[in-house]
């Protein structure tokens, strides 16, 4: 008999955390953020290979990647040079509900997956602070989330993420491998077109007592 690997400790999956009204509100928030900071096509460090996921950010810092400068956080959009739009209060309140920590997130990465887009197995490790969790919100079509362990070769399992689900990676799971195998176009009618948004909230700089 093939047994499923246990769910990694510190990985929390809140199914249906956001109701439809909250999801509709978040889409309006994302639309406004994208109007100020357009989605761009990020590229892999060194090779310059484009990612299939389009990205933008809100918050004081945004996660970006390009051929020459690689993965990093910066306060401005890589193409427009403008500051990222501020962290919307409704996104901050989701962090407050799920992060279980007093400190505030600095970055909200907005990922847009068109049909066919995916995100390879990786670890969120470009932050300077790992005491804070990563909180991530799924909106739109379903997506297969692949999750492994601390080491790249560790066994993996997949979880179906649906619109309104919240994932938290904390403590032992803060640095586990994860990615999106694929999305399932047409599984949700929140958006007028097939696709999936994911919002990833992260603390980037060390937590200060005053935060």
Ligand X SMILES: O=C(O)CCC(=O)C(=O)O
Which run of H or E residues covers position 99? helix 89-99
Give residue for tokens 């990694």. 8
Q: Is 111 in the site for ligand X (CB under 6 A)?
A: yes
- Residues in 71-110 at the binding interface with ligand X, rule: CB under 6 A: 109
Q: Is 180 in the site for ligand X (CB under 6 A)?
A: yes
Q: How far is the CB of 157 from Mn ion (least distance, A)?
A: 16
Q: How far is the CB of 99 from ligand X (least distance, A)?
A: 16
Which run of H or E residues covers position 92? helix 89-99
Closest by CA to 193, choosing from 110, 113, 91, is 113
> 95: left (phi > 0), else alpha (psi -120 to 50), else beta?
alpha
> Site for ligand X (CB under 6 A): which residue of 23, 54, 163, 200?
200
- Residues in 21-60 at the binding interface with ligand X, rule: CB under 6 A: none
Taking the least distance from each CB to ligand X, the nearer of 52 and 83 is: 52
Residues 6 or more apart in contact with residue 64 via CB below 8 angstroms: 42, 55, 57, 71, 72, 73, 74, 78
Give residue for tokens 């390879």. 120
Q: How far is the CB of 210 from ligand X (least distance, A)?
A: 28
Closest by CA to 111, choosing from 91, 139, 84, 89, is 139
The entry of Mn ion, ligand X, none near residue 197 (CB within 5 to 8 angstroms by kind) is none
Are 118 and 182 spatial neighbours (Cβ–Cβ below 8 Å)?
yes
Give residue for tokens 């406004």. 32
Q: How far is the CB of 2 from ligand X (least distance, A)?
A: 25
The entry of Mn ion, ligand X, none near residue 135 (CB within 5 to 8 angstroms by kind) is none
> Site for ligand X (CB under 6 A): which residue of 124, 127, 142, 165?
124
Taking the least distance from each CB to ligand X, the nearer of 54 and 198 is: 198
Binding residues for ligand X, per CB under 6 A?
Answer: 109, 111, 119, 124, 136, 138, 145, 161, 178, 180, 198, 200
């Amino acid at each position: 008999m093939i047994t499923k690997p246990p769910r990694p400790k510190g990985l929390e999956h809140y199914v249906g955390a956001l109701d439809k009204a909250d999801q509709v509100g978040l889409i309006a928030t994302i639309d406004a953020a994208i109007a100020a900071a357009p989605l761009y096509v990020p590229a892999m460090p060194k090779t310059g290979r484009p990612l299939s996921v389009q990205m933008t950010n809100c918050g004081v810092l945004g996660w970006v990647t390009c051929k020459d400068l690689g993965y990093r956080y910066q306060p401005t959009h890589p193409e427009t040079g403008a500051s990222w739009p501020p962290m919307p209060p409704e996104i901050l309140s989701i962090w407050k509900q799920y992060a279980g920590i007093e400190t505030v997130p600095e970055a909200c990465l907005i990922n847009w997956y068109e049909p066919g887009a995916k995100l390879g197995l990786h670890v969120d490790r470009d932050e300077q602070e790992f005491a804070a969790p990563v909180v991530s919100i799924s909106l739109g079509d379903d997506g297969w989330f692949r999750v492994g362990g601390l080491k790249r070769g560790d066994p993996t399992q997949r979880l179906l993420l649906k619109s309104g689900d919240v994932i938290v990676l904390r403590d032992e799971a803060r640095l586990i491998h994860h990615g999106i195998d694929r999305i399932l176009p047409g599984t949700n009618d929140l958006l007028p077109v097939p696709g999936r948004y994911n919002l990833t909230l992260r603390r980037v700089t060390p937590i200060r007592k005053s935060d």
